Structure formats: structure tokens, C-alpha cells
Amino acid sequence: MAKTLRGNINHIEQKGEDYTNNYGTYHNWQVILKSGEVLYFLTRQGYPFKHGVGDEIYYQLKNEETGNAKLVEAPEEQQSFQKPEYTPPVVPKPFKGSGKAPDTQTSIIRQSSLKAAIEFHAGDKISRVEEVLNTARIFVEFVNNG
């Protein structure tokens, strides 16, 4: 299997004549990366190159001498996922509302916020208890203060 490489696009231009084979007609795109490397990609006739200047791409070289390459998905370990920034714990203000005692109302808000935080982080590959609790505190603060 070819090595997956990564680069940032600096310039894109459709180059030369369209290429035709038994599978169809293709546009030839010259892509210059910020590193200065020049690559060539094919897209089916009528389809533009699906990335723009400044985009990060993952690719595999099909021919190192000519720079022919194909786009690939980001490898599993390189896919970027940004966790929200750490927010210090928020101390909820006491409830100043209707019928129920503040302790009961605060408890209900905290329980439902914790449940929502658990569901929010359910899709994360790795979640720490502190992250879930901090998210719950953010939800409690929102419920109490808007």
C-alpha cells in the first residue's frame, strides 16, 4: 500500500488536455502545495477539484517521477478532532423560582445536565470523567443563567 502523505494547497489550476480512457474522460489538475511540491490529479469530466487553496489534503503518489497522485481520506490516527477548550468549573447559583425547594430543583437540573453531558460525549473516542463533569457544569450554568 502506498504511503499516505499530507499537504496544504497553495495553488490549483486545470492543466493540459482532458484525458480519456475506457472508463471515461477526466480533467487534469495541477496542484502546488505550500511546500512547493507539484502534483497532478484527475477528476471526472464535469467535476471540479473538490478542495480549495488553503485546504489540507491527504494523497498517495501514483508516480513519483510525474507527480501523479490520488486523493485519499485522512488516516484514522491523523484525523483531527478538537475538543472544546477547558472551562473552569462553574458553581451554579441557587434557584429563585417557583414551587419546588431549591435543593430539589438544583438536583433535577444537575441530573439532567449530567445526563445530557454523558450523551454529548458518547461519541468521543476517549472521554475523561473531568471533561464530562465540566460539560455538565456548563449546561447547569446555561440553565440557571441563560
Contact between 5 and 62 (Cβ < 8 Å):
no
Identify any residues that bridge with 14 across adjacent strands, giving them in sequence order.
29
Are 74 and 87 part of one and the same domain?
no
Mind listing the pLDDT tens digit of every residue in the chain (146 residues)? Answer: 578 899 999 999 998 888 889 989 999 999 999 999 999 999 888 888 899 999 999 999 998 888 899 999 887 765 555 666 777 777 666 656 555 555 788 888 888 988 988 888 887 766 678 888 888 888 888 888 87
- Please check whether residues 15 and 36 belong to one and the same domain: yes
Number of domains in the chain: 2
Length of the chain: 146
Full-model pTM:
0.49
